[in-house]
Amino acid sequence: MRAFMILLCVYSAAEAAMDKWTLWADGTRLRGANIYQRRVYPELDGPEFMGPGPVGPPYTQEDFYRLAALGANYVNISHPGLFTETPPYVPDLEVQEHLDSLLAMIAEADMFAVISFRTGPGRAEFSVCCLGDDWFDESYLNDEVWKDSAAQDAWVDMWRYTAQRYRDNPIVVGYDLMVEPNSNEVWLDVWDPEEFYEKYGGTLYDWNQLYPRITAAIREVDPDTPILVGCMAYSAVEWLPYLKPTEDGRTVYVVHQYAPYVYTHQEPPLIRSYPGVFDTDWDGVDDRFDRAWLEDLLSTVDNFMATYGVPVAVNEFGVMRWEPGAAKFMDDQMDLFEQRGMNYALWVWAPSWKPMAEEDAFNFRHGPDPDCHTDVATSELMDVILKYWKRNMVRPSPVEEVTRDGLPGEFALGQNYPNPFNSYTAIEFSVPRKEFVVLRVFDLLGEEVATLVAGEFPPGRYRAVWNPGRSASGVYCCRLEAGHVVRTRKFVLVR
């Protein structure tokens, strides 16, 4: 099997000048996956399971190359916050260094990133991922952020610090302020939003009074990077109407879509399917579960976007890989996201870290067999996911406009530079009239390995960049197609 290639689908001339906000506000531009990161607890995790720490599981550069090769163009980094979870609330430099290393690898793979904080002052991992599990004792629980004003103040300070650190990072296209706010469960066990806001609105339990303070702190140091805000109750769609938008004009509101939980998280024996008929919402009445059910669910999103004129994204969604009808379920769901112009990141892109190979319920690469814990060549679910990822046409690597006197008189494809090359090469091309231009790279067997450009260009001269990632040494052919015009060049990659 040939090496994985990075599909560098980059900006058209019009897109080259767009800012990060355009990625969220102008239709579906970002399609990718989450990576899961938490603090390592050696006394709970043992010496290998989550890696050496301080954060795990470990990801490698190859993990991100593979994700980009499949077409994804953004990573939602679900990560511990940069401040300690207990007083005094100060920067944790080891956690910060780990986040820096992830961002460097994602940038090398030519993908965008959203920084999403799972934990922080007064909030530990265990109530986010594992409430009710029995592999840790209650001493590990920490949800004081919902009761302690000092912890909330520190959460504000943490994000101001984070934004100041990453505001100039070109691949960071969003700050997700808190992964799955959940005071309604951890302290109150209230699942009716009307009841919750009637009793607790405006108190420290209310995310609506905390997140605007965080937004204001970020804007003190970073006026531009988009801010992502989910709603209470783990960002469930049905709680979205109770999230109160701020005046900030660069905020994206987000949902996590795992409904119906009894299907998406169904362990064997597998008695529920998509489409199918079963009780989707624990009310004792069977429901028809199909595309119309999903349409009805997402009508809540439609109403929110229409009411406030704001974008909504889905920065977590997914299904256990073995669920009957999982491919059809994901196909319908992703199509509905696309229709609404929503960016989305599935859960989860698993690392190649072998000690975690069997923690793979959401690892679509392992196929539909619950007993399979290695990558399969293909599956229906994988085919659906890749079908949508391959729609991505935007990457951090831009197509530059080359300024020279006069407009070009013909379509032309220049020789790449440097040539031969090792890590990257630049390719100039000229467009004499407005035309749809495609620039692709092929190996000598005629197999396409990268799409560098696919878009409409006004007259001008442009430069595209190819980062070959893990491509093998050899001769490659670059092909420019514009209307009936075809131009080709050969170049040499040397490892």
Query: DSSP string of 48-75?
Result: TTT-SSSEES---HHHHHHHHHTT--EE
Task: Check: CB of residue 312 under 8 Å from CB of residue 253.
Answer: yes
Task: Check: CB of residue 267 under 8 Å from CB of residue 261.
Answer: no
Residue 9's pLDDT band (cuts 50, 70, 90): very low
Least trusted range by pLDDT, from 80-94, 172-186, 193-207, 446-460? 446-460
pLDDT of residue 152: 98
Gap between the Cα atoms of 272 and 263, Å rounded: 6
* Beta-bridge mates of residue 455: 437
Q: What's the average model confidence in pLDDT over 295-312?
A: 98
Gap between the Cα atoms of 224 and 167, Å rounded: 8
Helix (H) or strand (E) holding 252: strand 251-257
pTM over 0.85: no
pLDDT of residue 399: 65
Task: Check: CB of residue 141 under 8 Å from CB of residue 124.
Answer: yes
Gap between the Cα atoms of 427 and 417, Å rounded: 7
Gap between the Cα atoms of 95 and 38, Å rounded: 10
Look-up: residue for tokens 């909330």?
Answer: 152
* Beta-bridge mates of residue 430: 412, 461
How do residues 44-77 score in pLDDT, each as one tens digit? 999 999 999 999 999 999 899 889 878 899 999 9
Q: Is the peptide bond before 398 cis (omega within 30 degrees of 0)?
A: no
Residue 403's pLDDT band (cuts 50, 70, 90): low
Supply 282's token pair: 């624990």
> For residue 306, what are the CA distances in angstroms to 190, 254, 302?
28, 15, 6
Q: Which of 362, 402, 249, 270 is nearest to 325 (CA)?
A: 270
Tell me which architecture the domain covering 400-493 has in CATH.
Sandwich (2.60)
| Residue 386: CB atoms within 10 Å | 14
Gap between the Cα atoms of 359 and 319, Å rounded: 14
Four-CA torsion 153, 159, 164, 169, nearest 10 degrees: 180
Is the pLDDT confidence value at 404 over 70? no
Is the pLDDT confidence value at 5 over 80? no
Q: What CATH fold (topology level) applies to the domain 17-389?
A: TIM Barrel (3.20.20)
Q: Which of 456, 462, 490 is nearest to 475 (CA)?
A: 490
* Higher pLDDT among residues 119 and 404, named by residue: 119
The residue ranges of every structural domain in the chain are 17-389, 400-493
User: What percent of the chain is modeled with pLDDT above 70?
Assistant: 95
pLDDT of residue 304: 98
Gap between the Cα atoms of 42 and 40, Å rounded: 6
Supply 116's token pair: 């999403």
Residue 266's pLDDT band (cuts 50, 70, 90): very high
How do residues 380-390 score in pLDDT, each as one tens digit? 999 999 999 98
Is the pLDDT confidence value at 121 over 70? yes
Look-up: residue for tokens 């994985």?
Answer: 4
Judge whether 17-389 and 400-493 match in fold: no
- What is the separation, in whole angstroms, between the first and last Cα of the chain? 18
Residue 12's pLDDT band (cuts 50, 70, 90): very low
Q: Read off the amino acid at residue 223.
A: P
